[in-house]
C-alpha cells in the first residue's frame, strides 16, 4: 500500500490551487504522477471516502478532500462509518492504532 502517496496527493489538492485546477481539468494526469495500488486508484477516482478512511488516510486531510467532492459534514462522517461497515477496520495510519 502507498498510503504516503495517497496522503501526499490529497494534501497537495487541499493546499495548492494549481494542483487542484489541474486535477479538475485532468485528474488522470495528476494521479499518474504517483504510484498507487488498484484499490487506492479506485478509491481516489470514485471518490470512496469510506475506503480512503479504512486505508488509513488522515481525517484532517480526508475531510477537505471530501469537501472538494461536495460532501457535507454529516455525509463525510457517514461515509467513514460506511467504509468501516463495508471494508472492515482501519488498516494503517494513526486510526489503526485506536483499535488496540
- Give the residue-averaged pLDDT of 3-17: 96
Q: Where are the domains of the chain?
A: 3-99
What does the H/E/C string look like for the chain? CCHHHHHHHHHHHHHCHHHHHHHHHCHHHHHCCCCCCHHHHHHHHCCCHHHHHHHCCCHHHHHHHHHHCCCCHHHHHHHHHHHHHHHCCCCCCHHHHHHC
Task: Say if residue 71's pLDDT is above 70.
Answer: yes
CATH architecture of 3-99: Orthogonal Bundle (1.10)
Tell me the average pLDDT across 37-55.
96
Read off the pLDDT band of 92 (50, 70, 90): confident
What sign has the CA pseudo-torsion 64, 32, 28, 16?
positive
User: Is pLDDT above 60 for 51?
Assistant: yes
Residue 93 has pLDDT above 60, yes or no: yes
Amino acid at each position: 500500500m502507498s498510503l504516503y502517496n495517497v496522503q501526499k496527493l490529497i494534501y497537495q489538492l487541499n493546499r495548492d490551487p494549481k494542483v487542484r485546477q489541474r486535477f479538475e481539468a485532468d485528474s488522470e494526469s495528476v494521479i499518474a504522477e504517483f504510484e498507487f495500488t488498484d484499490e487506492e486508484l479506485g478509491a481516489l477516482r470514485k471518490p470512496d471516502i469510506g475506503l480512503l478512511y479504512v486505508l488509513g488516510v488522515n481525517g484532517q486531510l480526508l475531510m477537505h478532500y471530501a469537501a472538494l467532492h461536495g460532501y457535507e459534514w454529516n455525509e463525510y462522517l457517514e461515509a467513514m462509518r460506511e467504509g468501516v461497515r463495508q471494508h472492515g477496520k482501519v488498516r494503517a495510519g494513526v486510526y489503526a492504532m485506536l483499535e488496540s
